Amino acid sequence: MKNIIKYISILGVVLVCFTSCELTTPIDEIELQYQLEAEAAISNEGSADLALAGAYSSLKEEPTFMLGIPSALSGLAGVAGAYYKDEISSWMVNEPLNMEEAGDNLTFSGMAGLYRAINDANWIIEKVGELSEGSFSTPQRKAEMLGEAYGIRALSHFYLLRYYGQWYDTSSNYGIALRLEPIRDGSALPRNTVAETYAQIHSDLDFAIANAPDLNMNSGYMNKIGARAIKAKAYLYAGDYGMAASTAKALIDGAGGTYGLSPTYNEIFDNTSQAIFNNPEILFGLRGTLQAPLPNTVWYFAYTINGAYTGNLSAGSMTVGSQTINYDLDRINSTTGGGFYGLTTLKVPSFFADGEDDSLVYYARMAEVYLIYAEAEARNSNSVTTDALDALNAIRLRAGATDTGGDGFEIYPDSITLDQFLEAVRIEKTVELLAETGEEWFDMVRYDWVDGFGTGFQVSDHKATATNSDKFILPFSKLTLDAGFNIEIQNPSYE
């Protein structure tokens, strides 16, 4: 296995074509095309800016393709067209394939892309850290760049964990391999535990919260507020409800001015104007441009919306006391539309009325922070507190719910039981975050895990084919295991 010399991504030239030769090396050892040696590439603020832009570009490639996988697992997403059809179809029946052919292995390239972003961030952390503050135009810019790099590394590790590790079980050994230094040779690393993985994610996010730039609308860069939102989500995933609640509550209490709930839901996804990139709801998102496009999943397979799934949500309701509380039809209808492949999401814009070609992926929105707080506060207190109910109803009210005490699209009353409340939060997140980053799947898995797999809430009650909890996460590619001399341990039921 050949040694890998030191590389860093440069803006606009990080597109990677996987060849059969490249697939004989571990996924986090693949050489990128059109690279500059790191020591020469990062020598001042200008070159550091280019390197940082390259790290963001790495996130905009294969990792973006992965965003549709959770919704295929949950039943929300479908597939049309020929690209990756076998692999995607396997997710739809909750039997993920361990693909071996490069041309049909989306999960392999997605893992490679996330590790590539981590490696880019590691080079920035090391080389920018060696530069003096005098090398930068302002005293704080060095710290800001490092904060962004730590945030990128945390986000990438978090997404690797939730795709490939038993992220719901902090006692599990099935975490991911943490990469905390730039790749210098062909050595592979063993998997870290889930607890170790979360500890590193939170450590990196703490650095980003302390040092990354303030939230800047229209930038699309990692920032303090976005890092705090991701941290709240990571706490929720790990079942640390006290920390999830306090982190989310601090964000809610600090809202106003730069960030907060958008006055209306539809304006967040108004694809007729570039104004959506200035919306205060978006705490962190990756933006594509004509020069550096964001290749969403529609480019490779049609990310279609399951009409039966959304129809059940739209027609669904919950009886609370004497009230019948309906779920929401308008948010689903306003963000989906018919097309060549059927019902598709309108949340990933491609073309605007002004002729500009652009796109956006929403990694952290303020509405999700409210819903994280609602669930975490209720679970932490084992009751429906006033604050938790207010947070849930704030999202309902923003969507147009009324407070008459009657039936229909109403806010939830204070007579709601804890079990009803938790289910209401889960449904509300599905409706609110429809076709964004697949939260509905991770919520289903979390609810199943908390009740004890196969006992209370069960994923299989909502997706009949999801009967094997081992298959709630993806396999490590056989290509990766073979090339890594089996240092990586395969996930259960995929051996």
| Measured distance CA(446)–CA(459) in Å, rounded | 9
| Measured distance CA(346)–CA(270) in Å, rounded | 9
User: pTM (2 decimals)?
Assistant: 0.91
Structure-token match 């409210």, residue found:
370
Report the Cα 155 to chain-centroid distance in Å: 8
- Residue 7's pLDDT is 29
The answer to whether 1 touches 186, Cβ cutoff 8 Å, is yes
DSSP notation for 407-428: SBSBPPPTT--HHHHHHHHHHH
The answer to whether 163 touches 66, Cβ cutoff 8 Å, is yes
In a domain, residue 22? The reply is yes
In a domain, residue 89? The reply is yes
- Residue 470's pLDDT is 97
In a domain, residue 39? The reply is yes
Q: Which residues form the domain of 120?
A: 1-212
- Domain with residue 163: its CATH number is 1.25.40.390
In a domain, residue 127? The reply is yes
- Residue 29's pLDDT is 38
Q: Distances in Å between the alpha carbon of 454 and those of 168, 316, 439, 446?
A: 15, 24, 20, 12
| Measured distance CA(200)–CA(205) in Å, rounded | 8
Q: How many helices (H) and strands (E) does the chain have?
A: 17, 10
| Number of domains observed in the structure of the chain | 1
- Residue 1's pLDDT is 27
CA atoms within 13 A of residue 235's CA, in its CB half-sphere: 28
In a domain, residue 145? The reply is yes
- Residue 359's pLDDT is 73
Q: Are strands 282-288 and 359-365 parallel, antiparallel or unpaired?
A: antiparallel
Phi, psi (degrees; rounded to nearest 5) at 32:
-90, 145
Of 410, 416, 417, 474, the C-alpha closest to 442 is 474
Where the chain has pLDDT below 50, the residues are: 1-36, 102, 297-300
In a domain, residue 206? The reply is yes
Of 335, 417, 491, 435, the C-alpha closest to 77 is 435
In a domain, residue 24? The reply is yes
In a domain, residue 476? The reply is no
- Residue 335's pLDDT is 87
Q: Which residues contact 183 (CB under 8 A, 6 or more apart)?
A: 4, 6, 28, 29, 119, 122
| Measured distance CA(283)–CA(258) in Å, rounded | 10
- Residue 412's pLDDT is 98
